[in-house]
Amino acid sequence: MLSDIINYKITGHLRIWEKESGKVLLDHHNAIHPENMSIALAESLAHGKGFIREMVFGNGGVRVNASNEFLYSAPQTIGRMASLYNQTYSKIVDQNDGANTDIENNYMEVSHITGNVYSDILVHCTLNKGEPSTQNVLNNDNEIATQEYQFSEVGLKTYNGDLITHICHYPIEKSLNVTLQIAYNIRLQIV
Mean per-residue pLDDT over the chain, rounded: 89
Instruction: Let me know if residue 136 belongs to a domain.
Output: yes
Has residue 172 been placed in a domain?
Answer: yes
Q: Does any domain span residue 63?
A: yes
Q: Quote the pLDDT of residue 145.
A: 42
Backbone angles phi, psi at 46, to 5 degrees: -85, -40
pLDDT at 17 over 70: yes
Amino acid at residue number 78: I
Domain that includes residue 19, residue range: 8-190
The reported pLDDT for the residue numbered 109 is 95
Would residue 39 count as lying in a domain?
yes
Provide mean pLDDT across the span 33-49: 87
* Residue 16 clears pLDDT 90, i.e. is over it: yes
Taking the C-alpha atoms of residue 98 and residue 38, their distance in angstroms, rounded to an integer, is 26
Residue 93: inside a domain: yes
Q: Is the pLDDT of residue 79 over 80?
A: yes
Q: How much helix, strand and coil, in percent to the nearest 5, is found in the chain?
A: 5, 45, 50
pLDDT > 80? residue 40 = yes
Structural domain count, the chain: 1
Distance of CA 86 to the CA centre of its chain: 14
Confidence of residue 144 (pLDDT cuts 50, 70, 90): very low
Query: Structure pTM?
Result: 0.88
The strand pairing partners of 185, in sequence order, are: 13, 122
pLDDT band at 147 (very low <50, low <70, confident <90, very high): low
Tell me if 3 is assigned to some domain: no
6-10, 37-41, 90-94, 149-153 — most confident range: 90-94
Query: Who has greater pLDDT, 133 or 93?
Result: 93
pLDDT of 137 strictly over 60: no
